[in-house]
A and B are shown apart, each in its own frame.
Chain A
């Protein structure tokens, strides 16, 4: 790959779309952080719990007590600096690190869209998003450019496209398409929504939503890409996300996606948008229209950056398929489920009753999970194997401190998936204290009594 010779890498576009994207991304992240703090979730999710579930390999990432608030403040201010394009490189690196740190503190709160934010922030570190319409560009004329390499805009589109398309692929399974699950479970419970509420109990609506949802996810990146279908696609984006926002508690995500997809719009649209803003803010937009082009060779370490981003994209394309390396039903074992854009696919719930046995006296104790976990943590723990194992190890250590030598930890865990009757999830005879976390298949999971066909 030689950036100078490759014609694609010598294509240039107006920097306006990238600037608009930076502004929306920064402000929406700032709002998300403010909202998160305003709802009291920092305290509830990161300060009150006595125990936190870690990602494998990131056990060292923990909330830092009351100072956790500082991480959020830091993250929010970084987002604001990104929006303004103020000391952009430093701001986006700060944002990426603090946001990712927050997400790694407790996997109970894992959401695909938080993962998306982390990925996007990582990519933005390498993009000249402050070249245009930013405080940096205003103050440092030597980094101000009106035009940037096209790939710096396209890579944002590719990331967005992956999110949608892979979310669509994940819906191509028998539960979603042939049984309208889990929408058939979720939609009737939204009976109280004005106007559409009564429709949500109709079976045909469950199927219609499932199929439209799958096609929407698969097609929308392409519809956004082509000029002829772009406006229609954007209307769909707005309708789809507003509808999901009304029906499900998904926070800021719909707005993030709606504003992100604007990057597919033309240079002209972005210039017009910035002109309008400039009028309100009394900013001279013409200052930024300096006609200068950020040529590839002027980007520091451009080859390294391109190679890194290429590798990043390849990983992104392959990573969601890692579940193929594991035996058993993905929805059941969840081995390879996270970080794969598998969104809203399962109604899964569990009940985990831990039993501690003293190997010397053979006495057994049932654990009251709520002594150690918040209701939210207990709910998430009770149907995800890695959570169960981590909690089992915590219980082992806890009861060892309480004076039991080498306590054995077993669990009686029942899980129900997509309306199927609950069944035993984990071999109740296995001493989980002796099992180690790894990327290998967890042999102590009991097999799923049914089959879900498809991707």
Chain B
């Protein structure tokens, strides 16, 4: 009997205390549907972005074929246009390094820059050696920096001084034609494989893996997203050329589209937009916002009575974009003329890295990748 009384006293104590202290704001509130977020990501953002990307690559392939059949300046320009369109479309898929894309290393095989033009002590083969020998395996890891958009950039803008000279190289050398075609086909085959997987079984696996473990879809993709934002976008596109990681020594050759030399700002802005759209759950085609990291944070913010983190992040996105708008078309030229503009962009992007890695992961209780030791 005493035992029962004690239990009741204990339960009563706990009951009252908790009753007194909760202000009852969210008790009836519906919970956040994480699977809806995964579905929105898969169906409205990722798959449409890949569809768009593969279409752009199909055009690139077609234009490259026309050009190698009939090398002239007009056809060269058409390939260049198609290359830029595909490169821009790539900015919208590069961050989803999950599933087949992760397995095939889609991002690395498509966009390592600077591309390796000539062999060196570390790696004997560059693009020029590949072209000269005519024997190379683009699926080999050793050729990872001799392909993708940066290699195409060199093939379309960098192999000679003038357009006439470039066309002449293609007219006189079948190896140039083959290499250009191979690069273009390789990009498309990678993207096709990833899209086919999403449209096959992967989409369902993705949306049903809705838990909160290290391998669940939300955790993995959020980690991928942050990694992309920090390493590929903030560091790769602006920090490295601005010398942030090299003691202030600017590295103007380490930009996207270096040989074209007037698209690095455009590609940076596209990548910021793509990241911002993903954060807001903005559908690729319609632009309508769905369940997203933003709405998840807003939901958690209501529970946790915290700061409006989603708003802060979006404000920071705008600030970074406004700052990036002030860059010259070529980040290479910008860091050489006035590096402070580039450093400002870096700082604004950096602030969002902190919001993502510290505040957002903390609010969502998402672990940093691969950390699976015990806690206490």
Chain A residues with CB under 8 Å of chain B are: 41, 45, 109, 111-113, 177-181, 184-186, 188-192, 198, 201-204, 206-208, 210-212, 215, 219, 228-229, 231-232, 248-253, 343-344, 347-351, 353, 358, 361, 363-366, 368, 375-376, 378-379, 414-416, 419-422
Which of B18, B245, B249 lies in contact with A204, CB distance below 8 A? B18
Q: Write out the residue numbers on chain A whose beta carbons fall within 8 Å of the beta carbon of B372.
A: 249
A203-B22 contact, Cβ under 8 Å, with A184-B304, A249-B374: yes
A414-B14 contact, Cβ under 8 Å, with A184-B304, A229-B6: no
Q: Write out the residue numbers on chain A whose beta carbons fall within 8 Å of the beta carbon of B210.
A: 192
Cross-chain contact A415 with B358 (CB below 8 angstroms): yes
Task: In the A-B complex, list the 3 residue pairs whose CB atoms are closest, starting with the nearest.
Answer: A189-B365, A363-B247, A251-B374
Cross-chain contact A208 with B10 (CB below 8 angstroms): no
Cross-chain contact A111 with B18 (CB below 8 angstroms): no
Cross-chain contact A232 with B22 (CB below 8 angstroms): no
A188-B303 contact, Cβ under 8 Å, with A248-B375, A365-B247, A366-B245: yes
Cross-chain contact B244 with A375 (CB below 8 angstroms): no
Cross-chain contact B18 with A366 (CB below 8 angstroms): no
Cross-chain contact B303 with A422 (CB below 8 angstroms): no
Cross-chain contact A375 with B363 (CB below 8 angstroms): no
Cross-chain contact A211 with B18 (CB below 8 angstroms): yes
Cross-chain contact B375 with A249 (CB below 8 angstroms): yes
Cross-chain contact B306 with A113 (CB below 8 angstroms): no
Which of B26, B239, B305, B362 lies in contact with A349, CB distance below 8 A? B362
Q: Write out the residue numbers on chain A whose beta carbons fall within 8 Å of the beta carbon of B305.
A: 179, 419
Determine how close the nearest CB of chain B comes to the CB of A358; give it in whole angstroms.
Answer: 7
Which of A111, A185, A201, A229 lies in contact with B365, CB distance below 8 A? A185
Q: Write out the residue numbers on chain A whose beta carbons fall within 8 Å of the beta carbon of B6.
A: 229, 232
Q: Write out the residue numbers on chain A whose beta carbons fall within 8 Å of the beta carbon of B363.
A: 185, 419
Q: Write out the residue numbers on chain B whose beta carbons fall within 8 Å of the beta carbon of A211.
A: 14, 17-18, 21
Cross-chain contact B31 with A191 (CB below 8 angstroms): yes
Given the complex of chains A and B, what is the CA–CA distance between A253 and B10 in angstroms? 25
| Chain B, range 333-376, C-beta contacts under 8 Å to A | 350, 353-355, 357-359, 361-366, 368-376
Which of A188, A215, A351 lies in contact with B10, CB distance below 8 A? A215
Say yes or no: is B172 at the interface (Cβ < 8 Å to chain A): no
- The residue among B25, B27, B34, B248 with the most chain A CB atoms within 10 A of its own CB is B248
Q: Write out the residue numbers on chain B whose beta carbons fall within 8 Å of the beta carbon of A181.
A: 304
A-B contact pairs, 11 of them (CB 8 A): A185-B363, A202-B27, A203-B26, A203-B303, A207-B18, A215-B13, A253-B376, A365-B245, A375-B369, A419-B306, A419-B362
A368-B14 contact, Cβ under 8 Å, with A112-B376, A229-B3: no
Residue on B with the closest CB to A370?
B231
Cross-chain contact B31 with A421 (CB below 8 angstroms): no
Given the complex of chains A and B, what is the CA–CA distance between A250 and B376 in angstroms? 5
Which of A178, A179, A365, A416 lies in contact with B246, CB distance below 8 A? A365
Q: Write out the residue numbers on chain A whose beta carbons fall within 8 Å of the beta carbon of B24.
A: 203-204
Residue on B with the closest CB to A110?
B376
Given contacts A208-B14, A232-B6, A378-B368, 11 further A-B contacts (CB under 8 A): A112-B376, A180-B21, A192-B212, A203-B22, A207-B21, A208-B15, A251-B374, A344-B375, A363-B249, A364-B248, A366-B239
Determine how close the nearest CB of chain B comes to the CB of A393; give it in whole angstroms.
Answer: 20
Chain B residues with CB under 8 Å of chain A are: 2-3, 6-7, 10, 13-15, 17-19, 21-22, 24-27, 31-32, 34, 210-212, 216, 239, 244-249, 300, 303-307, 309, 312, 350, 353-355, 357-359, 361-366, 368-376
Q: Write out the residue numbers on chain A whose beta carbons fall within 8 Å of the beta carbon of B366.
A: 189
Q: Write out the residue numbers on chain B whose beta carbons fall within 8 Å of the beta carbon of A180.
A: 21-22
- The residue among B15, B245, B366, B373 with the most chain A CB atoms within 10 A of its own CB is B373
Q: Write out the residue numbers on chain B whose beta carbons fall within 8 Å of the beta carbon of A376.
A: 368, 370-371, 373
Given the complex of chains A and B, what is the CA–CA distance between A361 and B34 in angstroms? 51
Residue on A with the closest CB to B245?
A366
- The residue among B10, B34, B244, B245 with the most chain A CB atoms within 10 A of its own CB is B10
Given the complex of chains A and B, what is the CA–CA distance between A181 and B365 in angstroms? 13
Cross-chain contact B21 with A177 (CB below 8 angstroms): yes
Cross-chain contact A204 with B22 (CB below 8 angstroms): yes
Q: Write out the residue numbers on chain B whose beta carbons fall within 8 Å of the beta carbon of A421.
A: 306-307, 309, 312, 359
A347-B247 contact, Cβ under 8 Å, with A203-B22, A248-B375, A250-B375: no
Given the complex of chains A and B, what is the CA–CA distance between A455 and B359 in angstroms? 26
Determine how close the nearest CB of chain A comes to the CB of B307; give it in whole angstroms.
Answer: 4
Given the complex of chains A and B, what is the CA–CA distance between A449 and B10 in angstroms? 36
Residue on B with the closest CB to A252?
B374
Cross-chain contact A250 with B248 (CB below 8 angstroms): no
Cross-chain contact B371 with A375 (CB below 8 angstroms): yes
Q: Write out the residue numbers on chain B whose beta carbons fall within 8 Å of the beta carbon of A363.
A: 247-249
Given the complex of chains A and B, what is the CA–CA distance between A415 and B359 in angstroms? 8
Cross-chain contact B374 with A111 (CB below 8 angstroms): yes
Cross-chain contact B373 with A188 (CB below 8 angstroms): no
Q: Write out the residue numbers on chain A whose beta carbons fall within 8 Å of the beta carbon of B22.
A: 180, 203-204, 206-207
Residue on A with the closest CB to B31?
A201
A422-B355 contact, Cβ under 8 Å, with A185-B365, A192-B210, A250-B375: yes
Given the complex of chains A and B, what is the CA–CA distance between A236 and B17 in angstroms? 19
Given the complex of chains A and B, what is the CA–CA distance between A201 and B357 in angstroms? 23
Cross-chain contact A358 with B247 (CB below 8 angstroms): yes
- The residue among A232, A248, A376, A419 with the most chain B CB atoms within 10 A of its own CB is A419
Which of B3, B34, B306, B376 lies in contact with A343, CB distance below 8 A? B376
Given the complex of chains A and B, what is the CA–CA distance between A116 and B254 in angstroms? 52
Determine how close the nearest CB of chain A comes to the CB of B13; give it in whole angstroms.
Answer: 7
Q: Write out the residue numbers on chain A whose beta carbons fall within 8 Å of the beta carbon of B300.
A: 185, 188
Determine how close the nearest CB of chain B comes to the CB of A193; give it in whole angstroms.
Answer: 9
Cross-chain contact A422 with B304 (CB below 8 angstroms): no
Residue on A with the closest CB to B371?
A376
- The residue among A45, A219, A349 with the most chain B CB atoms within 10 A of its own CB is A349
